[in-house]
Chain A
Amino acid sequence: MNHMSPGAPPPIDAAASFRGDPGAFLRILVRGALLQLPTFGFYRFWLITDMRRHLWANTRLGEDGFAYTGTAKELLVGFLIATAVLVPVYALYAIAGLVAETWAAFASVPLVLVFWVFGHFALYRARAYKASRTQYRGLRLWMDGSGLAYAGRAMAWDLAVVLTLGLAYPWRAASLERYKMCHTRFGMLQGGFSGTGAVLFRRGMLYWLAGLAIVGLVFVSTLAGRGDLPAALMAALGVAVPSGLVLYPLLMAVRLRWQIEGTHFGALGFQSRLGPGTVFWIYLKAALIVFGFFLAGGIVAGLLMAVFGGALSGPATGGTVALFGVIALLYLALILGFGVLKRFYVDRAVWSEIANTTTASGVGVLDTVAAAGDRAGSLGEGFADALDVSGGL
């Protein structure tokens, strides 16, 4: 990454940091989870807004903090409009599905592709919304560019990734990131992205090869020891799943660091010390906590069944219905609890780690940046929500 003159590292003149109060964030999450139930999920707009406000406000670059200026009402309106727009789309989709089914049963399944286009479009527009609600030093980030052009690009790259069995992924990431950053501005300051697919490929390859080596080793040794091909395949698959789970956080860390280091706004560039090990521990810790949580939930459910399970085989009574209600509530509580834990131990932890390992150079350029850009609509985020593709924070 260093194309600077030899012996002169880029001057670090501002460090990013996250200093959020864990208790405050946890309160936001728990309160949100509890209110999701009686509001049938409608509270999510307020929850996500509160989360973003907290994360943005406690993140600083140098002396100055970020601020999130979006409102839950905007998200709600965006969602409602998106829903209204999707009514005829759903209807057309259903009719197209029926016509396709006349030719062959289940022929309509590929029509999911329509929503694939919509999903990419929605993610791009949702990013534009979030950017334009991000305020720093009295100016806002904003994006132009076309969500449809982005969706076209993303789909072509998705296809390339599938055709190359995943090898094209680094170049896909570089191309899409370039498109997004080249259409992102801070006031008048044009963003850009200098990361390349080759660099990401080189950095990720080590882990990728390590994973392949482990799986290959198990496969070969089982084959040599037992001389049984199906058994060797099963053993390899048995190792592939856990090594995939181990590799995911490592590769994600590599990708994030590469993404931060490639991002720049004019002369303002970023450096990252994000270590794969740290991200790995974040995920491991979260996985253990979630495991414990589900174990506890399972024990409660088991006890309930043991005590009241007999009622299920009897005739339908108010008690049966009540038991069904309790089971449904327990199920929802587990899902919501999982959401809280995941957001706290993964999303917040990764966010914090990213912020605390990032530094910026060339901050001086900010003193001359003039304001520009306007707020993007929340329709994109509404689409993402309605289609269940929301990119989280």
Chain B
Amino acid sequence: METGRAACFDGRTARRRDVTLHFDADALRAVEGDEEVLRWPYDAVRRQEAPHDRLTIGSVADGLARLEVDDPATAARIAALCPRLAAQTEERPPVLRILAWSAAAVISIALTVVYLVPIVAQYGAGLVPPAVERRLGDAVEGRVRVLMGGRGDAVCADPEGSRALARLAGQLAAAANLPDPPRIAVLPSRTKNAVALPGGRIFLLEGLLLEARGPDEVAGVLAHEIGHVAHRDGLKRMIQVGGTGYLLGLLFGDVGGAGVLVALAQTFADTSYSRAIEAQADAYAAGLMAALGRPATPLGELMGRLEGGDGGGVADFLRTHPGGRARQEALARGPNPQTGAPLLTPEEWAALRRICRATTPA
């Protein structure tokens, strides 16, 4: 067989041309009448995806031009002459390479999250001016109030209680001697918690205040939070969580429902960060209390009561704080002097516990 028939789209117009195929020594030639429509070297010819009842071919060097061959004999001749006919369709997705590169991307991002992001947070925090840090703290303050279960807009402001709080805060601030004294407020929320925001804002929730059995326990909590402020932990956490969330978001792209996994992964990632940080803040609190001549063990007792002292189970795995008992033991190893005067008189302590009888808008 010296020639064959094919339908040809030459890529210059959309007109269907009925061409005669000539099988030259080194190339496939399509001719319509006297005009040579195209000439494709055999090794440039590739099969194109098409319904299986016909052979459709193109050329790697000739854009969109196509030849469609219905006649099986002609198709067989082309298949015999074109060595790389199947190259394109046989080129299935390079699965192994995709797998390898995906794994590399995942490992790279995992290493970045575990090792690099904490370093960036550590040193990056040092580059943030205090004014900006305060601004960041103000930015999250509203949201934190709501998330902490408070009414969001009120601060406890009973006059006698406020005086007692100011005295307690003043002694702690004097001992801490930070460039900006921490700004401490009590929020009317039954949640038993306290939080330090970037820039020195500390919220003590009424629930924790009522749980405490003496001024040293509250002072210990505040000293612990002042430790977070002194170490700029809030700022570092913002940098770290933001960076981690962004990187994991990049990684998971749009696999359906990956948001859940991202959140889970982030909790795991944050936990290891927090454990070390909390221990450092405890150590700071112990030092601060010792400077005032007061023991830090009451803080440990409070934590022990709060967390029920259990140290196992999945809940502990996910918790952002180490178990109460472990912290209690660490605090018991501190100096814990009893030499200083009580931080509050019994009357002041009673007044402090009643601070939420009156509130003012934040």
Contacts and interface: CB of A to CB of B under 8 A. Distances in A.
Q: Decide whether A and B are members of one complex.
A: yes
Given A104-B142, A368-B15, A40 B106 contact: yes
A101 B16 contact: no
Contacts, number: 157
A79 B51 CA distance: 31
A40 B105 contact: yes
Nearest to A65: B50
A283 to B, nearest CB: 19
B250 interface: yes
A315 B66 CA distance: 67
A103 to B, nearest CB: 9
Given A90-B246, A138-B65, A46 B255 contact: no
B23 interface: no
B284 interface: no
B258 interface: yes
Given A42-B101, A135-B64, A58 B51 contact: yes
Interface string B95-118: 100110111011000000000000
A390 to B, nearest CB: 7
Given A312-B314, A369-B13, A138 B64 contact: yes
A54 B52 CA distance: 12
A99 interface: yes
B257 A332 contact: yes
Contact of B50 (A57, A187, A332): A57
B11 interface: yes
Contacts of B142: 101, 104-106
B203 interface: no
Interface string B80-105: 00000000000001010011011101
Interface stretch (A31-39, A200-208, A213-221, A230-238): A31-39
Q: Give the one of B14, B106, B140, B242 with max A CB within 10 A.
A: B14
B135 interface: yes
Nearest to B10: A138
Given A313-B313, A316-B312, A385-B253, A105 B13 contact: no
Interface string B290-320: 0000000000000000000000111011000
A196 B138 CA distance: 52
A102 B139 contact: yes
Nearest to A385: B254
Contact of B64 (A19, A65, A140, A390): A140
29 contacts: A40-B105, A41-B255, A42-B101, A60-B51, A67-B48, A72-B93, A98-B136, A99-B139, A105-B141, A105-B142, A105-B143, A105-B145, A106-B146, A137-B9, A138-B9, A138-B10, A138-B11, A138-B66, A139-B64, A315-B312, A315-B313, A316-B314, A335-B255, A335-B256, A335-B257, A366-B14, A368-B13, A368-B15, A369-B15
